[in-house]
């Protein structure tokens, strides 16, 4: 439906032209109720002014939106940086707690072997006491490190490098997998799996580097006997149960094999 401005036969005032919308101005040009061709240039000039004002207004809104977008982007970047920083700090605190808290009680993995599902009652030792015992006597809770764990570092003669470089001594303690009877004789700690025998002898300890030197021998059903020298060291670590609870580890790590 045409507006009153568009249908007005007499020439509108300047104020009416300025108050009219762009649609009303275009409609008046199309209807031309006063048959005044001289009105066209004036209407076009008013339209140009209104379009220019509209462009300026739109540009201002775009600039405002752009500023807001920049601000939001800056806030998101700052939040991301803060999140990364806090995560790294938490990891540092966690790592520091695991490795340097000498007075912390050592809780090794218990959900293994014959005591799966409930903790076994063991004397309380600190993480530092566990590490000191291992370095002092190459034992864990009074028992020699099981030779089957050391055997994990061995590789076939046809292979250049071992595959396993670290084992969790505390998790293997009294487990089914490492429950073979251990024989201790003349400094040698060995076990037999029915197909062969493997053993090691502790021959030295570099206290400054924390490196233990082991001489190992293994034999099968034949007369061949394989011999090697291992450099290993102990570390205190930490892992997590499937339910999210942490537990401690006495890690035996291979440094070098000859």
3-state secondary structure of 190: strand
Here the tokens at position 202 are 């502790």
Mean of the pLDDT values across residues 77-84? 82
Distance (Å, rounded) from C-alpha 138 to C-alpha 202? 8
The set of residues, in sequence order, having a beta carbon less than 8 Å from that of 126 and lying 6+ positions away, is: 102, 103, 104, 105, 106
Distance (Å, rounded) from C-alpha 3 to C-alpha 74? 49
The gap between the terminal CA atoms of the chain, to the nearest Å, is 99
- How many CA within 13 A on the CB side of residue 86? 6
Mean of the pLDDT values across residues 81-90? 74
* Strand-pair category, 166-168 with 246-257: antiparallel
pTM of the predicted protein model:
0.57
3-state helix, strand, coil in the chain (%, to 5): 40, 25, 35
Across the chain, mean pLDDT equals: 80
Q: Is the dihedral of CA 110, 112, 116, 121 positive or negative?
A: negative
Which comes out higher in pLDDT, residue 201 or 62? 201
Which comes out higher in pLDDT, residue 95 or 25? 25
Q: Is the pLDDT of residue 120 over 80?
A: no
Mean of the pLDDT values across residues 196-206? 92
Please, are residues 201 and 188 in contact by the beta-carbon 8 Å criterion?
yes
């Amino acid at each position: 439906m045409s507006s009153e401005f568009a249908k007005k036969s007499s020439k509108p005032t300047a104020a009416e032209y300025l108050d009219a919308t762009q649609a009303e101005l275009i409609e008046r040009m199309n209807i031309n109720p006063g048959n005044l061709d001289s009105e066209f240039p004036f209407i076009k000039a008013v339209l140009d002014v209104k379009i220019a004002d509209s462009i300026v207004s739109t540009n201002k809104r775009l600039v405002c939106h752009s500023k807001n977008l920049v601000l939001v982007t800056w806030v998101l970047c700052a939040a991301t940086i803060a999140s990364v920083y806090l995560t790294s700090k938490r990891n540092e605190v966690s790592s520091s707690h695991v490795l340097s808290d000498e007075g912390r009680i050592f809780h090794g993995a218990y959900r293994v072997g014959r005591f799966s599902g409930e903790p076994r009652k063991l004397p309380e030792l600190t993480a530092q006491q566990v590490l000191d015992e291992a370095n002092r006597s190459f034992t864990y809770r009074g028992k020699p490190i099981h030779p089957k764990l050391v055997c994990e570092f061995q590789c076939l003669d046809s292979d250049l490098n071992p595959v396993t470089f670290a084992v969790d001594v505390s998790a293997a303690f009294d487990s089914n997998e490492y429950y073979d009877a251990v024989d201790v004789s003349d400094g040698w700690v060995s076990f037999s799996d029915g197909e062969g025998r493997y053993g090691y002898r502790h021959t030295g300890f570099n206290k400054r580097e924390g490196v233990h030197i082991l001489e190992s021998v293994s034999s099968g059903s034949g007369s061949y006997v394989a011999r090697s020298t291992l450099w290993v060291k102990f570390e205190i670590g930490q892992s997590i149960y499937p339910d999210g609870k942490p537990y401690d580890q006495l890690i035996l790590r291979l440094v070098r094999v000859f």
